[in-house]
Amino acid sequence: MQGIARAEELGCQCIQIFVSTPRAWPSYAKLIPLNKPAKPAESKNCEDNLPDEDCSLFVQKLKEAKLEAPIAHSTYLINLGSSDAAQWQKSLDALVVEWRRSDQLQLNGLVMHPGSFTNATPEAGLENIVRGVKAAVKLVKPKFAKLLLENTAGQGSCLGWNAEQLGYLLKEIGSSHVAVCWDTCHALASGYDFRTKSGLKSMLDELDQHGVLEKIEAIHINDSVKDCGSRVDRHEHIGLGCIGEEGFKLFLKSKPFKGLPMYLETEKGVDDEGVDWDLKNLQTLRSYAE
């Protein structure tokens, strides 16, 4: 609920929230926006998401605030790429809890990093992700919220950093309930140099070739502290990082991305002059898009 008020105050058009504490495993007691008493310990996480009246209040508030395309970001602990059976099951349970809650809140989507293969192989990791997402689709049966697989910076053994891997996942999962969220910071860090016309074109071509472009339904709009190909995921304020003004201008005006909902994931707080960073980043983006 605080997120909605904040978005209204800033003049946002869309919003990304968390439906559970981002750096903890979701449990019944920790779901957002409602905190309910925990269920008995023997209950499985998967069943922890019961209908509640507060969801409808949230939906109503969202409508009143005229915020379009609300999405959530899943907890960072989920790793469906894991070859460790217990870890994989825990990740599936958590995904199901968060996806169900996102669906109850009538969000457009739930963003998830595909996962990492840790000490196995990329192929095994991708197979594990396919198996996990397929199982989650069956359990959740979403009516509103799609699962949005986010491209990663490709740090460590993280999967889903290129069009080929994302395309493979989409094809193998084969569900209309699964789409893509494209993060500009991760794209640059993973090696897509879209800061020039020709670079942008080759990124779009590659995304198209692998069937990813048409599945992109949300954009995480962040500048990057680290340069192209660094494989380091560090978000920077708009225009102050390695993507820079020209890079964003090209990106914002490119046909496939224009009109998609964009979400800032830059650092909060105020600059040296006391100006709110969110406000400043929004203004910068709007001036670039003109």
> Rule CB under 5 A: which residues touch Zn ion?
183, 220
Query: Taking a C-beta distance cutoff of 8 angstroms, is the pair 229, 189 a contact?
Result: yes
Residue 48 vs 252, nearer CB to Zn ion: 252
CB of residue 56 to Zn ion, shortest distance in Å: 29
Q: Beta strand 178-183 with 146-150: parallel, antiparallel or unpaired? A: parallel
Cα–Cα distance measured from residue 10 to residue 7, given in angstroms and rounded to the nearest whole number: 5
- How near is the Cβ of 34 to Zn ion at its closest, in Å? 26
Supply the minimum distance, in Å, between the C-beta of residue 54 and Zn ion.
27
- Give 128 or 152: the residue with its C-beta nearer to Zn ion: 152
Whichever of 45 and 162 has its CB closer to Zn ion, that residue is 162
- Give 250's Cβ-side CA count (13 Å radius): 16
Give the integer Cα–Cα distance in Å for 176 and 64. Answer: 29
Calculate the alpha carbon distances from 38 to 10, 27, 48, 77, 253 in Å.
Answer: 34, 8, 9, 20, 47
Q: How far apart are CA 96 and CA 140, in angstroms?
A: 6
- Please state the closest distance from residue 89 (CB atom) to Zn ion, in A: 25
Return the number of the residue (14 or 135) whose C-beta is nearest Zn ion. 14
